[in-house]
Amino acid sequence: MPVANTVVVGLQWGDEGKGKVVDLLAPESALVVRFQGGNNAGHTLVVDGKKIVLHVIPSGILHPGTMCVVGNGVVVDPAVMIMELDRLASRGHDITPARFAISTEAHVIMPWHRVLDACREDARGEGLIGTTRKGIGPTYEDKAARRGIRMSDLLDPELLRERIVALLPEKNRQIVEWYGAEPLTVDEIEAWARPLIERLGPFIQDTVSLLHDAVTADKPILFEGAQGTFLDVDHGTYPFVTSSTTLAGGACAGSGVGPSAIHAVVGIAKAYTTRVGTGPFPTELDGAEGDRLRELGGEFGSTTGRPRRCGWFDAALVRRAVLLNGVTHVALTKLDILATLPTVRICVGYQGCESFPAGSLEGVTPIYEDLPGWSEDLSGARAWDDLPKNAQAYVTRISDLVGVPILLVGVGPGRDEVVLENDPIATLTAARH
């Protein structure tokens, strides 16, 4: 029986552990597809005790039998992608066009995008959005304005020069006149692009046809999102959001397959809540409590190194994410971090709000439910019965509150440190029917 085509999405503000879950499901997938975002994401994997951070290349690349695809919904910094390919090759991973493809329709993060991103964020002063300054937003802006450069444009040097010559004067006016930074030149941008094109050219392919061939052949596909649900440009805590669609529905537009090809959606939620950057965060813990959770969980951004804001699990938030994504199963990560806490809290709703607050979470007050904690080390747990009763009760309560079953529970950073009540592949396959 074929395995279901599955979308993996984050249900909070990112950093939920999507990479680990993709790595777990990838061996049974013929293809793993990244469908949105850019190198503003960082998926951290721990394999044989060694940490690997991937920013653009899908997490499935660590499995030799899996083809990885960067879809048209992704924005690509060619220099970062090459650096990532080289890092993987140095670890013994054979990356060829037979194993890795970049969509011809993916947009390119150009040097002017990075410059403008940093200049704009600096100019906001105290009103920072909290971007990673990697050019992601300006690239999506140009994509929407129909003035972007796509990966296919890199394959035609004459066309690329024409596009640079046409676009650069406007970009330089902004860079110089608005922000007082140094202008860019056509020659330096061409010099930047030339070696990158030579390296990446063989990987640039018609990925839509590639994916539809897999769908027709009933080969299982895993779709990997980057940022979390509440960084979605439409449904997130706007304006403190990313510049793309992070929801499961974005897997279709960002890869070129239709909705009927998707059979299951796995939503990833951390056993507590974190957020990087500015914006509302109802369950945030200030002071010593937040600091302690940050230290216990190692909550520092894998892309930026920024400390993450930490707080209690927000079931109201995750319940909304389940609705927005059509989630069929939840993977709960980092349950082990809560060990030793005498009490664990779950936000079950917001005061005065009968439904999820439309538009913003600014100023809402959480309603908490307290559960007894546990002191046992969870790192050796591999089955449900290995978990302490209080940990079981916490997971069960979360499942009840968000309204979908728990597929797996993470109890440590390693790829094997997972509690499985049932075989996740068999469970997702059953969801297809």
Q: What is the pLDDT of residues 32-89, one digit of tens each?
A: 999 999 997 777 777 667 778 888 998 888 888 899 999 999 999 999 999 999 999 9
Whether 377 is catalytic is no
Position 179 pLDDT exceeds 70:
yes
For residue 118, the tally of other CB atoms under 10 A from its CB is: 18
Least confident among 123-132, 208-217, 241-250, 338-347: 123-132
Whether residue 329 lies in the annotated active site: no
Could you tell me which residue, 102 or 60, shows the higher pLDDT? Answer: 102
**pLDDT band, very low/low/confident/very high, at 237 (cuts 50, 70, 90):** very high
User: What pTM was computed for the model?
Assistant: 0.92
CB 63 within 8 A of CB 30: no
Q: Phi-psi bin for 352: left (phi > 0), alpha (psi -120 to 50), beta?
A: left
Q: Report d(CA 121, CA 249) in Å as an integer.
A: 29
Question: Token pair of 170, please?
Answer: 């406007």
Residue 428 pLDDT greater than 60, yes or no: yes
The count of other CB atoms within 10 Å of the CB of residue 147 is 13
Q: What percent of the chain has pLDDT over 90?
A: 77
Please report the pLDDT score of residue 360 as a whole number: 82
- pLDDT, mean of residues 232-241: 94
What structural domains and CATH numbers belong to the chain?
Answer: 6-104+203-265 (3.40.440.10), 107-200 (1.10.300.10), 268-431 (3.90.170.10)
Could you tell me the CA-to-CA distances from 320 to 226, 235, 324, 402 in Å, in that order?
19, 10, 6, 8
Confidence of residue 431 (pLDDT cuts 50, 70, 90): confident
Per residue in 408-418, pLDDT tens? 999 998 888 99
Residues 103 and 72 sit within 8 Å (Cβ to Cβ): yes
Mean residue pLDDT of the chain comes to 92
Name the catalytic one among 23, 43, 77, 142: 43
pLDDT at 41: 73
Please give the average per-residue pLDDT across 102-130, as a whole number.
87
Q: Decide if pLDDT at 143 tops 70.
A: yes
Q: Name the one residue in this structure whose structure tokens are 């993470």.
A: 410
Digit-coded pLDDT (tens) for 293-331: 999 999 987 666 789 999 999 999 999 999 999 999 999
pLDDT at 340 over 80: yes
What distance separates the 2 farthest-apart alpha carbons in the chain? 66
Q: What share of the chain is helix, strand, coil (3-state, %, to 5)?
A: 40, 20, 40
Do residues 406 and 399 lie in contact, with contact meaning Cβ atoms separated by under 8 Å? yes
Return d(Cα 84, Cα 39) in angstroms, integer: 10
Q: Quick one: pLDDT at residue 35?
A: 97
Phi, psi of 275 (to 5 degrees): -150, 140
Strands (E), 309-405: 309-311, 313-314, 329-333, 343-350, 366-372
Half-sphere exposure of 430 (CA within 13 A, CB side): 9
pLDDT bucket at 1, cuts 50 / 70 / 90:
very low
What pLDDT, on the 0 to 100 scale, is given for residue 433? 60
